[in-house]
Every structure is written in structure tokens, then in C-alpha cells.
Amino acid sequence: MSICIADFPQVWQKPSSEELLASLKRLQVEPPIWSPGTPRKVIQETYRNAAQFRLEVAAYLSSIIKSNLGWIQDDDEKEALWEEASRRLSERCGRAGMGEITRRWPFESQTSTPFELIIREPPITGDCLGLKTWGSSYLLAQSLDKIARSSLSHLLSLGQSNQSLDVLELGSGTGLLGMAAAAIWQANVALTDLPSIVPNLSYNVEVNRSNIEALGGIVDSGALTWGSEIDSAERFTNKNQFKIVLAADSLYDDDHPELLSSAIDTHLVADKDARAIIMIPQRDLTTKKLVARFVSIMTTYNLRVLEENTLVGQDDWDGDDDEETLEVKCWCAIFGRA
């Protein structure tokens, strides 16, 4: 490490607030940027290699947090130092000891120049699965160009503006799929998820907005809780306003088949030309049963499978720490109204 904690001003030396604050600024963690092909093992090994330095930094930060900083007269300056030290400490906690990461996801389209989306994934704490980018999202996003030329050719004209076409993504998570759709299709795409997920989703939208708009797309984000209008943004309270609905990796709990199918029926235009595109990883028998129940419930809304196939992608952040990126088979289906 180019930084040596022993060279920093120590609490016992009673340094000025300016010296301490400058040191804390130097310790700010800049999230590393990884390519989508970087295995989780490589990322975690990078963090492990810095483990000893992290311990030294944590001890230094704790010494500031625990100190009453009695030699500093200004209470506001003390508060600023404690807050800054706490912030530096929190940056070093989270997903298996890992902090926030950022990934660049590359895309190629036959009708546009290659582009990339920059996606932030905060530290995963608790049950926040929407704060990571799942492999099926990238797999489906990479298929959008082909799908537009075949299954959605009656709705989309690639290479031309489709901004009048309203597209909804359900369970957007970090926003990779919906933003890719806006850029590749040059369409107006609304990205949605639970209120707790939306702050990070909105952050990613803003980071990529100018790039997407330069490619001809329009993108926005908001809260939409399936089965509830109370927790949903006002824009989504109107029924049946989206010509295309997207969802990836949205079935992992027992109540999801009912909730997802109801949400699709609620927001998809009541038109035979409207389409819902769904991709679900087939990780285990439970997931396969959820898919079967989902398809069955969709028929009760007069939504039937028009096309389906299996694609193979990669998933990470799953299994044991020493495992490489995992191959996963994904069921992809396109639904239309009967």
C-alpha cells in the first residue's frame, strides 16, 4: 500500500482538526470498477490481499471515533471528524467484508455504436437482493437486439426512434436490463422496484442517463410495489399503459408467481400486440416449480406463452467464496394476450 497509517497524525499527538480531516479524506475508498467477466473469486482475492491494511485503517479510525478530541475547541469540528471517520469505517464493511463495487457492462448492437452501462452495487446487507446485478439481467439485455428483430418487430423499428413506445421493467434491481432496453430500442423505459431499492436504482439511471439519451433512449425510475398502489409512484397507478413489460430473475419466493403475473396484467396494454418478456434462471427444482405456477396463473389473465427457449448465462455472488462464476440455465418466454 502506498499509504502508511504510521505516518498519519495520531490521536495521542493531538493534531489539529484540519490535519485529521485531511487524513480522513485520504482514506476515502474509491469503489473499484470491474468488468462483468471478472469472477467473484478474483474480486474477493483483491479484497483479501488488502485485509491487513484494512485492519490498520479500522484501528486508526476507531481511535478517532472513541476519542473525545478534547484538545479541539470547536464542537462542530469534532462532530465533522467523528462523522468522517465513521463514514470511512462504513465504507469498509458490507458484502463478505467487501464494500461498494462498480461494474462496466459492454453492449453491441447492429444498429448503434458499442456502448457500456456503469452499474453501482452497494454493499449487500440483510435481504437486499435488488442491490446486485444478477446474471439473467445481462443475458436478457444482450438478447434485446435479436428479440426486437424477431418477436417484437411489429412494435419496434431498430435504428429509428421508438420513444413513443412505453416500456416497463418490473423488479429492475440495479437497472441494467431496463437501461439497456432504452438504449438499444431507443424507447421510453420506466424502471421500477421496491422503495428500498429505488435510491440505488435512481443513482444508476442518473449516471447513465446522458449516454442513453445520446443513443436515442429515454429512461426514468420509480417505486412500484406489486399488488399495492400505496407504495407506488403516481405514474404507475394508471392501468394498462405499457406496450412492453420486462422482468428478469423475479421469481424466488412463493408469492412471486401471483404478484408478478398480476402486475403484468395490471400494467400491460390490453392489446393483442402487447408483449411481456420474462427470463428466470432455473437454479433448482423450486425455481422450476415457481415458473410452472407462474405460467399457469398467467393463463387466468388470458396471457399465454407465444415463444419460449433456454439460454445459458453466468451468475456470481452465489455459493461458496472460493467458487468461480457459475453457469446458469435461464428460461426465457414471451407472453401475449389471448
Question: Across-strand partners of 169?
Answer: 191, 246
The pLDDT, as a whole number, for residue 121 is 86
Q: What angle do CA 321, 323, 325 make, to 5 degrees?
A: 115
Domain identity same for 303 and 202: yes
Boundary of a domain, candidates 36, 70, 97: 97
In this structure, what C-alpha cell is assigned to residue 39?
469472477
Distances (CA, A) of 87 to 15, 83, 84, 214: 20, 6, 5, 35
Say if strands 244-248 and 218-223 run parallel, antiparallel, or are unpaired: unpaired
For the chain, the domain total comes to: 2
8-state DSSP, 145: H
The pLDDT, as a whole number, for residue 122 is 81
In this structure, what C-alpha cell is assigned to residue 14?
493531538
Domain identity same for 79 and 154: no
Domain identity same for 168 and 189: yes
For 193: left if phi > 0, alpha if psi spans -120 to 50, otherwise beta; the answer is beta
Boundary of a domain, candidates 39, 62, 97: 97
Boundary of a domain, candidates 97, 115, 147: 97
The pLDDT, as a whole number, for residue 151 is 94
The pLDDT, as a whole number, for residue 46 is 66
The pLDDT, as a whole number, for residue 102 is 82
Domain identity same for 44 and 83: yes
Residue ranges in the chain whose pLDDT is less than 50: 1, 94-97, 126, 317-324
CA–CA dist 255, 294 (Å, integer): 10
As a whole-number percent, the residues of the chain with pLDDT over 90 amount to: 55
Cβ atoms < 10 Å from Cβ of 324:
12
Domain identity same for 297 and 223: yes
Domain identity same for 34 and 121: no
Question: Could you list the residue range(s) of the whole structural domain that residue 59 is in?
Answer: 5-97
The pLDDT, as a whole number, for residue 195 is 92
The pLDDT, as a whole number, for residue 321 is 42
